[in-house]
Amino acid sequence: MAGKVANSSFVLLSKLDVSRPAYAELRTDRQENASKTAKRNILKPLGTIKKYKMKYLSLLIITVLIITLNILAVSAQEAWLSTPESISQFRKQVEQIKPDSSKFDVDSYDKTIQLKGRQISIRIYNSDVNNLKPGLIYVHGACWVAGSLNSHDEICRYLSKKTDVVVIAIDYRLAPENKYPSSHNDVYEASNWIFNHSEELGIDKNKFAISGESAGAYFAAATVLRAIDSEHSPEFQFQLLVYAALDGGGSSWSECKDLYFTSKEEVRSRYGSPLWSDDLTGIPLTFNIFGQDEISRAEQELYVRKLRENGVEVKSFMYKDKGHDVVNWGSVNSETDAHLKAIEYIKEGFGLN
């Protein structure tokens, strides 16, 4: 049946008079429609290709812009500490961390102590000199090259006021004028001096600990290691590390570390990189506070893991949605979760109510 219909149609079409105007118009219309269809079929892929070309061209332009901005940012960061003028400017900025007036009424005084071949300054925060209290050393950060007793005065007042412990800040020598291990030696030897003169400073030497933020936490961790390795050294009950940088090399703050270290051997030494020490046994209770988005987070998490693998008790707090929040930490403009956790940890470490 289908074959008969097809044949009939063929016969009918074959009998049409193609010379008649109606059919001629029909044929012309069909030819024009076929031509338009063919044109569309040709132009449509070309249009699609053009659209995708524009899309990928836009993506390429955006990518180039992002790469360019990153290069400029890295260049600016390198320039940030690449000259004496830029270092001086950074130091001035760090000094501005200290607020114009303190919110924490704590008695304090400065003292110059004699170390081997040199003198350095410390600042003692203690409102009750009649009773021995726990002692907490505080080591300031600021990229190995900046910071002072004044820049981090407010955080020391805060910690002392909120915990009722004696806080002692150390004014160590800075890079790039002083290379490795000068800052390490200052913090370790000053800690040793403070421990040996604890009663004079109103400190119960049986309750003695060390803390710091950023580069200061790095020096604190190195000091604890050195105390374990050395005779007649401070006996730390715990270490409190805040926003710590624990790798002397690595990807975090390399522009700062390069101003302090002079060789790969120094960087990878036991005290140069506490993170990469082969043996972390004997380290006391460790409290760690870090920002979820900070650049040195990987160093801190790896350090915590290695401590636990070496049998060290560790408690770690991640401050959500925060980066390397050292300015807020040092200025105490507002009491953040990091501050509150630090107070909790200090009281726990010293067994205070």
List of residues 6+ apart from 327 with CB closer than 8 A: 97
Give the CATH superfamily of 101-350: Alpha/Beta hydrolase fold, catalytic domain (3.40.50.1820)
Q: Of 63-67, 148-152, 274-278, 331-335, where does mean pLDDT reach its minimum?
A: 63-67
Q: According to the model, what pLDDT value does residue 342 have?
A: 98
For residue 44, the model assigns a pLDDT of 55
- Half-sphere exposure of 294 toward its Cβ, with a 13 Å CA cutoff? 25
Q: How far apart are CA 301 and CA 307, in angstroms?
A: 10
Give the pLDDT confidence of 261-299 residue by residue, as tens digits.
Answer: 999 999 999 999 999 999 999 999 999 999 999 999 999
pLDDT in tens, 31-72: 555 555 555 555 555 555 555 566 667 667 766 766 665 555
Do residues 296 and 215 touch, judged by C-beta distance below 8 A? Answer: no
pTM to 2 decimals?
0.79
- What percent of the chain clears pLDDT 70, i.e. is strictly above it? 78
Q: Which of 141, 147, 172, 182 is nearest to 266 (CA)?
A: 182
Query: Residue 21's pLDDT is what?
Result: 41
Measured in degrees and rounded to the nearest 5, phi and psi for residue 117 equal 75, 10
Torsion-angle region of 306 (φ positive above 0: left; ψ -120 to 50: alpha; else: beta) = alpha
Residue 316 is which amino acid? S
